[in-house]
Amino acid sequence: MFGVALTYPFIMKLLSNEKSEYAFNSPLIIGLGIVILFLAKNIFMIFYSYLQAKFTKSVETEVNLKFMKYFLSSSYQKSSKIPLAQKENILGFIIPNVINNYILRLLNLDVNFFIFSLISLFLIIKFPAATIITLIFAVLLIGIQNLIFKPRLTKISKKLSETSALYNQRGNEAILNIKEVKVSNNEKFFFDNYKAAIYNFFKIGRETLFLNIIPPYITEPFIIILLFILLTVISLENFSQPDKLVASFAVIVSAIFRLSPTISRIQVNLNGINSVSPLVDEFLSLCGKFEISNVKELTQKEFYKLKNNIELKNINFEYEKDKPVLKNINITIRKGEFIGIAGLSGAGKTTLADIISGLFIPTAGEILVDGEKISSPLKIGYIPQEFTVINGTIKDNVTFGAPVHNDEAVIEALKKAQLYDFIKEKFKDGINSNPFVDSSGFSHGQKQRLALSRALYSNPDILILDEATSSLDLKTEDEICNVLKNLKGQKTIIAIAHRLSTIKAADRIIFMKNGAISAIAPFDELISLNNDFKELVDLASIKTNN
């Protein structure tokens, strides 16, 4: 504002024949003052832009961490209901768009309104009639563009999140299932699905980008018209005073030079805000749904040391109301016992294991540990059917974020899983090798042994195997079974198995049918007690004698 205001006395002094009594009142000093003011303004705006970037990225980081903290701290029961594609969409699309295209643009909008107001304040004092014309013109120009752009941008914005989530989902479907995709020779199908999703997503993005960059090109010709109107008004007001007329022209041109990009930026920022308004609504809805402001702090809880037994009393569980998955489960698992869980698909085997591990809370009934309800978690080693490596060394994959990295404990866990000799022979850096970059470095069976090492590293009281041997060859399965036999009595083992040979050595087998326990007995005894189990054994062609 001061830079624009000083243009008037600068021109007046430049055209005046009178010598100034004071050096600071000379054209050179005034001109230098204008230059210094604009330099100072630009330095300030560079610093302000840095503060903007720092603030918005800090907010984005903080919000992103709050959502990630929610995904990690909320119960598995809640977190598992949120699809992976939605989680990726929240973290990688919704949050960045809300911060960068809403909050950042609001800050820029404030700055440009402030600049517009200051220059308008000066002009209304110096040129009231011209300023009224300028303000009316600017408001109409912004208002009309907003009426044109806002409905289209809002409509587009409603599709942005949906198309982004589908784009993530199609990518996950192709990449996470690459083995099945290759085997089934369906690469083209998954590529076409991904192609359609990404084209749709970027089509929406292209329209949004286009509508956000065209305001300056619409504003520019109207600003030229405004300039001619203002110059005409000023000419009529100062026709008889040529020096004032020239000085007024200079001020008007200088003001328009500042107002033109300001008006364009106001419209660009309004368009940006309009383009993400539905995303902001979705973001706020997610914040409320997940109670982001009250997310629990992540803490390393103290484990409860199992002393005697785990007792499930009258356990019932439902994923959906009035659709029971587990019905009236009653069982006591003694410390050091090897328990097998068998049954047809959909019988509730994995859900039962998840209840025991504390991942799911029963709909009804109670779980007692050593005769009491406990608030601390049990120390459990979990071995899934499909093991996923993390980007790091063998040691990193075994410790899996454990607070203490003990090399001896890592080696001991690998030895128990019968994997250490292979690592020592194949990798010169031993447990500090990273065989997972660009290549898995391990066979499927070796990965399952690594999973077992990870489960054993923290010296858990309970080992839970969720069909961990179902995709292994018979030799590797037999080796894993031998490991379990060696651990029998040392650890409480709960093994879910389609392959009944895996649980043949179990102390007791829980046979489940339709969400209920059909029978509990050792392997051979269960064959004579339960016809359904006997049919499974016959189908699997398992020898019942040792």
Residues 276 and 327 in one domain: no
Judge whether 257 and 224 are in contact, CB under 8 Å: no
pLDDT at 24: 55
DSSP H stretches of helix in 436-546: 444-457, 474-487, 523-529, 531-540
The CA R_g of the chain, rounded to the nearest whole Å, is 36
Whether residue 235 lies inside any domain: the answer is yes
Residues 255 and 338 in one domain: no
- Measure the CA–CA gap between 215 and 145, rounded to whole angstroms: 8
Residue-wise pLDDT for 184-239, tens only, equals 778 888 888 889 988 888 888 788 778 777 777 777 777 777 777 777 777 777 76
Q: What are phi and psi of 241, to 5 degrees?
A: -125, 90
Tell which residue, 347, 349, 362, 357, has the closest CA to residue 315.
Answer: 362
Residues 274 and 391 in one domain: no
Instruction: List, edge to edge, every strand of the sheet that includes 380-383.
Output: 380-383, 462-466, 492-496, 338-343, 508-513, 516-521
CATH number at residue 261: 1.20.1560.10
Residues 271 and 128 in one domain: yes
Whether residue 82 lies inside any domain: the answer is yes
Question: Of 245, 265, 292, which closes a domain?
Answer: 292
Question: Of 240, 264, 292, which closes a domain?
Answer: 292
Residue-wise pLDDT for 318-358, tens only, equals 988 888 899 999 999 999 999 999 988 888 888 999 899 88
Spell out a b/e string for 335-361, using b for 16 or more CB atoms within 10 Å of the CB, else e.
ebbbbbbbbeeebbbbbbbbbbbbbbe
Number of domain units in the chain: 2
Residues 491 and 437 in one domain: yes
β-pair partners for 331:
312
CATH number at residue 441: 3.40.50.300
Residues 405 and 474 in one domain: yes
Supply the range of the domain harboring residue 118: 2-292
Whether residue 356 lies inside any domain: the answer is yes
**What is the value of pTM for the model shown?**
0.74
pLDDT in tens, the chain (546 residues): 777 777 777 777 666 666 655 555 677 777 788 788 888 888 988 998 899 889 999 999 999 999 998 998 888 888 888 888 888 889 988 999 899 889 988 988 888 888 888 888 887 887 787 778 777 877 887 788 778 887 887 777 778 778 888 888 888 888 877 767 777 778 888 888 889 988 888 888 788 778 777 777 777 777 777 777 777 777 777 767 777 777 777 777 777 777 778 888 888 888 888 888 888 988 999 999 988 888 878 777 788 899 999 999 999 999 888 888 999 999 999 999 999 999 888 888 889 998 998 888 899 999 999 999 988 888 888 888 777 778 788 898 888 887 666 788 899 889 888 888 888 888 888 888 887 654 556 777 788 888 888 888 888 899 998 877 766 667 777 777 887 888 888 889 999 887 788 888 889 999 999 999 999 999 999 998 989 888 888 887 644 444
pLDDT at 55: 92
Residues 33 and 168 in one domain: yes
Judge whether 270 and 146 are in contact, CB under 8 Å: yes
pLDDT at 545: 45
Residues 252 and 335 in one domain: no
| Amino acid in the structure at residue 525 | E
Judge whether 342 and 503 are in contact, CB under 8 Å: yes
Report the percent of the chain where pLDDT is more than 90. Answer: 16
Residues 261 and 317 in one domain: no
DSSP letter string, 4-17 = HHHHHHHHHHHH--
Three-state DSSP state, 369: strand
